[in-house]
Structure 1
Amino acid sequence: MPISDVIPLYRLRIDTPRLTLRLPHPDELPLLADCAREPIHAVGEEPFENPIGLGRPSWSSAPPADRARKAVQVQLGEVAKWTADNWHLELTVWLDGKPIGVQTLYAKHFPVTREAATISWLTLAQQGNGFGTEARAGVLAFAFEWLEARSCRSRSFNTNGKSVGVSERLGYREDGIDVEAVYSGVARTSRRFRMDATDWHSRSRPSVTVTGFDDDCRTWFGIATQAARD
């Protein structure tokens, strides 16, 4: 029996003009591990959060073997602890059949709030080609058009210009700032961004195709089945 018969999330697939976003099957996890071994950002940069007290650089600056292990652990862990009230959809970003990063869509109490958030990473070699914008547009399309989200959030450190640029290109609105203490013992300011469903539908978007979002899959997100909707 294939794992997709047990966990319908593995049937879910989001296709954008150049990319495919989907969960890696168990036998594909070594490919994701190899992807995570590649540099995620330039030496000396710290674009990701790492709360003070952990006493080490962020995951993205960890040794390649540590990044590979953690990427696989996150994939397995988020599926294992998934509930309709608290979920992280850790979609691998595939380009020509090879992983180039991860695009996450996550939410708490989604059936009530209809609000989700995103976070992502791409290998350094694949940055600057518009893939980050395209991958996030893919999950936003899924959120707004298939999950019928009311809003989606994102957050980036001021120093993470690439992530901020993606939010601005896609039409998010500024939503305030946060000041956080990170592993180095310094305060860093992050910018919050928000997009509502009306913002998403207010402009033309790239073509996105979603397959595998059947009634079994819908229940994992706490969304009414099609029969109940009809």
Structure 2
Amino acid sequence: MLTMEEIFPPFGLLITSGSVEMRVMRDEDIPELVELIHDGIQAPDLPMPFLTDWHAQSFTPGSPDGFPTTSLAWWWSQRAMFAPEDWRMALTVRRDGVLVGMQDVHATNFAQTRHVETGSWLGLRHQGQGTGTVMRQLAVGLAFDELTAQSCGSGYIVGNLASAAVSRKTGYVDNGRNRIVQRTADGKVGIEEQRVLVTPHTYLRPVGPVTIRGADALRRFLAIED
């Protein structure tokens, strides 16, 4: 019988460095992930970091509305729409075996652009311990070393000093500002986003060895050619 890794090769991806481990999210991660989010993500002294305040929705398990149902629909849709022309990997981040956050890597028309976008978050009680920097460095390393990306973009809300620090420690440089819209419980809000970009020339690697398994099968699945 085929394994899930053979059927859906992203499940075979494993990235490790020291005590940090990243894999593509599976359904069995969801209960732990829901608890992590319910315990809090947003630091009270920093601006809301997302385009929508999904993390602050009412906690109503088993209901068709609110969290986690709306987030489940988003997580599952990423697998349903996975294709070489448009893909998104939601990577669980564990430190010492404990789920601490999520790291996204996504791209559109990657064969032509060789560009990916990254985004990430950590549970509130796991912030400020250096994990955010390591997980971002590992995601960028995957893009450059295994997926042949030539640039990685990201962005953060102006005033989010923690996200700015992670970007700086990974080698991102400022790449202009956008006026974007956040959707909150109080309606739409216009806010400044700082765009950042990292290339192989500016990339700062994590301290210590990195191990990546499953990259060959992932490249084939994404139709990535050298």
TM over 0.5: yes
CA RMSD of superposed structures (Å):
1.9
SS of the residue 1:120 aligns to = strand
Equivalent of 2:200 in 193, 197, 200: 197
Distance 1:25 1:42 in 2: 27
SS of the residue 2:155 aligns to = strand
Q: Residues 114 and 149 of structure 1 are in contact (CA less than 8 Å); yes or no, is this contact kept in structure 2?
A: yes
Distance 2:118 2:72 in 1: 19
The Cα of 1:167 is off from its aligned counterpart by 0.7
Unpaired runs of 5+ residues, structure 2, are 61-65
Q: Residues 106 and 116 of structure 2 are in contact (CA less than 8 Å); yes or no, is this contact kept in structure 1?
A: yes
Distance 1:145 1:9 in 2: 16
Alignment of 1:71-150 (within 5 A): 71-150=71-150
SS of the residue 2:90 aligns to = strand
Q: Residues 91 and 102 of structure 1 are in contact (CA less than 8 Å); yes or no, is this contact kept in structure 2?
A: yes
Unpaired runs of 5+ residues, structure 1, are 51-57
The Cα of 1:169 is off from its aligned counterpart by 1.6
Distance 2:108 2:161 in 1: 27
The Cα of 1:115 is off from its aligned counterpart by 0.4
The Cα of 1:43 is off from its aligned counterpart by 4.6
Distance 1:29 1:186, change over 3 A: closer
User: In the alignment, what sits opposite 2:10?
Assistant: 9
Distance 1:111 1:76, change over 3 A: same
Deviations 1:122-160 (A, max 9, x none): 100000001111100010110111111100001001022
Alignment of 1:174-193 (within 5 A): 174-183=174-183, 184-193=187-196
SS of the residue 1:39 aligns to = coil
Which segment is superposed worse, 143-152 or 24-33? 24-33
SS of the residue 1:42 aligns to = coil
Deviations 1:198-220 (A, max 9, x none): 222xx554332100112x32122
TM-score normalised by structure 1 residue count:
0.86
Alignment pair present for 1:59 and 2:61: no
TM-score normalised by structure 2 residue count:
0.87
Distance 1:204 1:164 in 2: 17
For 2:125, the aligned partner's letter is A
Distance 1:125 1:182 in 2: 25
Which segment is superposed worse, 40-49 or 88-97? 40-49
